[in-house]
């Protein structure tokens, strides 16, 4: 009877544990990352009797956690991917909405600006038309500044997101180290680790993977260590390391990440490629930076092409035109640990227009949407163009460096101090240009709508030859507005004389009436055509009093459709290309996000099929264990009855 009672009691205890575990499963059916538990039972060593072996009931071996580590590893990886691309998708959507919004975008303002310029060309003497043109120019510059400010605001949002992610990572890492310690302590008193603590740790690991890509490595004593995707540790056993969001060593307005206590220059940005943190960095590096650089490049293109043509004109005061626009200058950012050397950079004059075949053969690329990493070893410079990671200079002095930078439309000047070995500089050519884009003039009389030169034929000419209106090639030529006479010494030859300077510029130039001739002197160019006679003469001179002249305004109007910027685009084409690139990136990110979400969903289903709680199964187990419990209780009751019968028999 003792054996019967012991056997029944072991069954009662086993099925009570099974019922409790089943109830625990049901209670946690909606608990995130809870793994279903199961009581593992086994029969103990039977007891030998003379006639054979009698069973001794049942033992509770353990409360098993139904878990697949490989499935969880996949789930964490896919969670990092979803978080990365979800972060990028949100930010890219905001940028696309900003650039493509007709109320905020640039296209309507470009149209209005050139419309007012055409009105000015139609009425070059009208102060009102000139003022409207300047007003529309101011609106255009304000719009580019506003777009740049909006992109800068998005950059600040990225910085805030990075800071918040780092704070959350540190909190989770500390929590993970603490739960590692709790698991270790709990495991010391029992053979198996506490299942619920392991589930809590799984949730922390998934939350951590949502923020940054991680690798989880099992340690002795049921602990785990966590490493970032670059191999650097976050948690080692019971110890958590900390990340810190810090100012970039090059740009104090840009936030990067490194391990707490590490020296400047040990930034982790390039190696943190997944999770929310990786999403922020990739968005900034591959979408935001190129877009803001492109906007700056557009501002430089508008300013340089307009200024170049405007300076070829003459204003209402009879003066040559000046710059119509100003633009932010390139920046050379020294690394914080540098010596006292400082540099300035400038965009070269011909860095905007399409390159010629000769320049292309020499390796010219024009001004690019790229920063440059320049380092100095104490004797020579090395330069890397960051956009394509091309080393444009392996080793050379400042002159050699400028030779290579000139190909990309840049020039570097040492302004103070002496570079020391180990110095590094970040050359940023275009990003700040749009923030500094503004009108250079406010006086409508200073709009150079007229041409500074005029041409005429002598009234006594007998031939049918004619002279073109003339084009200004170089407004900086000091002799531009000198009076120049072109005299035909025969029907096939002519001389060119600078009357103002009393100098003969050309003698006996050959003329063919079937093709005409082009004369380029003193910064201007004219074309002769027709059939002259001996002693026919033409004059090129200062356009004094030419307030009704609109020739330079018409040349400015032509810039609207002139395909002279990067990629052979006009102004609208450059902006449209920028929008298209952001849109293409947005579609890439969205498609990748959908793929990652599908993979994550599959991983979650796989985990659920292994570790998830099924209420139907648990209900069936509940009924089964309840019946077993009742049966064990009935055995105890039977044993008790037998014992009572035995006592009654002995007593009688």
Question: SS3 string of 531-592?
Answer: CCCCCCEEEEEECCCCCCCCHHHHHHHHCCCCCCEHHHECHHHHHHHHHHHHHHHHHHHHHH
Evaluate if residue 356 carries a pLDDT over 70: no
CA–CA gap between residue 585 and residue 564 (Å, rounded): 26
User: Which tokens in the block code for residue 22?
Assistant: 């089943």
What Rg, from alpha-carbon coordinates, does the chain have? 41
Evaluate if residue 538 carries a pLDDT over 80: yes
**β-pairing, 233-236 with 214-218?**
unpaired
pLDDT for residue 344: 86
pLDDT for residue 104: 67
Q: Reduced to 3 states, what is the DSSP secondary structure of residue 365?
A: coil
pLDDT for residue 355: 39
CA–CA gap between residue 614 and residue 608 (Å, rounded): 9
Evaluate if residue 406 carries a pLDDT over 60: yes
> Which residue, 223, 233, 282, is CA-closest to 80?
282
Residue 51's pLDDT band, with cuts at 50, 70 and 90, is: confident
Q: Which residues of 3-39 are buried (b: 16+ CB within 10 A; e: fewer)?
A: ebbebbbbbbbbbbebbebbebbeebeeeebbbbbeb
Q: Average pLDDT of 624-652?
A: 78
Q: Average pLDDT of 171-184?
A: 92
20 Cβ partners below 8 Å, 6+ apart? none
Q: Average pLDDT of 42-67?
A: 83
Evaluate if residue 415 carries a pLDDT over 70: yes
Contact status, residue 452 vs residue 480, Cβ threshold 8 Å: yes
Phi, psi for 527 (deg, rounded to 5): -120, 130
The fraction of the chain above a pLDDT of 90, given in percent, is 56
Weakest mean pLDDT among 188-197, 243-252, 487-496, 581-590: 188-197
pLDDT in tens, 373-387: 999 998 999 999 988
CA–CA gap between residue 571 and residue 562 (Å, rounded): 8
Contact status, residue 465 vs residue 531, Cβ threshold 8 Å: yes
Per the rule left: phi > 0, alpha: psi between -120 and 50, beta: everything else, 366 is left
pLDDT for residue 361: 37
Residue 465's pLDDT band, with cuts at 50, 70 and 90, is: very high
Weakest mean pLDDT among 337-346, 487-496, 524-533, 576-585: 337-346
CA–CA gap between residue 162 and residue 458 (Å, rounded): 74
Query: DSSP H helical segments within 194-328, as ranges?
Result: 195-211, 275-283, 289-310
Q: Average pLDDT of 479-501?
A: 96
Give me the residues paired with residue 485 across strands: 497, 539
> Which residue, 219, 190, 213, 186, is CA-closest to 200?
186
> Which residue, 180, 228, 174, 229, is CA-closest to 201?
180
Weakest mean pLDDT among 156-160, 291-295, 353-357: 353-357
Work out the mean pLDDT of the chain and round it to a whole number: 88
Between residues 404 and 125, which one has the greater pLDDT?
A: 125
pLDDT in tens, 89-119: 999 999 988 887 766 678 889 999 999 999 9
Evaluate if residue 46 carries a pLDDT over 70: yes
Q: Average pLDDT of 504-526?
A: 96
Q: Residue 463 burial (CB < 10 Å; 0-12/13-18/19+)?
A: middle
CA–CA gap between residue 66 and residue 22 (Å, rounded): 13
Query: DSSP H helical segments within 101-126, as ranges?
Result: 107-122
């Amino acid at each position: 009877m003792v054996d019967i009672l012991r056997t029944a009691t072991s069954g009662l205890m086993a099925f009570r544990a099974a019922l409790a575990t089943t109830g625990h499963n049901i209670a946690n059916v909606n608990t995130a990352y809870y793994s279903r538990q199961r009581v593992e039972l086994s029969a103990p060593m039977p007891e030998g009797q003379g006639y054979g072996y009698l069973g001794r009931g049942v033992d509770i071996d353990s409360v098993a956690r139904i878990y697949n580590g490989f499935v969880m590893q996949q789930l964490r990886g896919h969670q990092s991917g979803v978080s990365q691309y979800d972060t990028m998708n949100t930010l890219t959507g905001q940028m696309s909405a900003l650039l493509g919004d007709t109320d905020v975008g640039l296209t309507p303002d470009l149209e209005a600006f050139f419309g007012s310029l055409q009105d000015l060309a139609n009425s070059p003497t009208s102060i009102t038309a000139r003022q409207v043109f300047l007003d529309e120019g101011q609106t255009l510059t304000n719009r580019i500044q506003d777009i740049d400010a909006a992109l800068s605001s998005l950059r600040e949002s990225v910085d805030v997101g990075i800071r918040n992610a780092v704070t959350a990572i540190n909190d989770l890492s500390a929590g993970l180290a603490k739960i590692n310690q709790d698991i270790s302590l709990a495991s010391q008193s029992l053979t198996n680790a506490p299942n619920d603590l392991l589930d809590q740790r799984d949730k922390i690991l998934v939350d951590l993977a949502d923020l940054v890509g991680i690798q989880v490595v099992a340690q002795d004593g049921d602990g785990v260590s966590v490493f970032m995707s670059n191999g650097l540790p976050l948690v080692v056993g019971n110890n958590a390391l900390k990340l810190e969001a810090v100012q970039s060593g090059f740009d104090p307005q840009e936030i990067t990440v490194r391990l707490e206590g590490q020296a400047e220059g040990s930034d982790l940005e390039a190696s943190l490629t997944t999770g929310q943190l990786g999403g922020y960095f990739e968005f900034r590096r591959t979408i935001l930076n190129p877009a803001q650089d492109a906007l700056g490049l557009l501002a430089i293109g508008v300013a340089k092409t307009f200024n170049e043509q405007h300076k070829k004109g003459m204003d209402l005061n009879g003066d040559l035109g000046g710059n119509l626009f100003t633009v932010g200058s390139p920046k050379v950012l020294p690394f914080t640990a540098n010596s006292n050397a400082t540099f300035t950079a400038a965009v070269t004059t011909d860095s905007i227009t399409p390159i010629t075949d000769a320049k292309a053969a020499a390796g010219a690329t024009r001004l690019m949407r790229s920063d440059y990493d320049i380092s100095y070893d104490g004797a020579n410079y090395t330069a890397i163009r960051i956009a394509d990671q091309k080393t444009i200079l392996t080793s050379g002095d400042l002159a050699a460096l400028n030779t290579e930078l000139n190909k990309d439309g840049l020039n570097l000047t040492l302004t103070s101090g002496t570079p020391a070995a180990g110095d590094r500089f970040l050359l940023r050519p275009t990003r700040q240009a749009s923030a500094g884009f503004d009108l250079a003039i406010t006086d409508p009389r200073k709009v150079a709508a007229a041409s500074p030169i005029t041409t005429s034929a002598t009234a006594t000419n007998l031939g049918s030859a004619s002279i073109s209106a003339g084009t200004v090639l170089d407004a900086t030529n000091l002799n531009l507005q000198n009076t120049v006479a072109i005299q035909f010494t025969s029907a096939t030859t002519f001389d060119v004389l600078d009357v103002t300077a009393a100098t003969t510029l050309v003698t006996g130039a050959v003329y063919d009436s079937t093709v005409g001739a082009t004369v380029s002197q003193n910064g201007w160019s004219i074309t002769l055509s027709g059939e002259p006679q001996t002693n026919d003469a033409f004059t090129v001179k200062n356009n004094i009093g030419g307030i009704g002249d609109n020739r330079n305004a018409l040349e400015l109007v032509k810039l609207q459709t002139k395909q002279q910027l990067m990629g052979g685009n006009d102004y609208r084409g450059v902006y449209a290309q920028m929008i298209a690139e952001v849109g293409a990136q947005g579609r890439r990110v969205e498609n990748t996000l959908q793929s990652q979400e599908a993979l994550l969903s599959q991983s979650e289903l796989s985990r659920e099929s292994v570790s998830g709680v099924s209420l139907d199964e648990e209900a069936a187990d509940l009924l089964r264990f309840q019946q077993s419990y009742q049966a064990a209780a009935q055995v105890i009751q039977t044993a008790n009855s037998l014992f009572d019968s035995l006592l009654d028999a002995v007593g009688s």
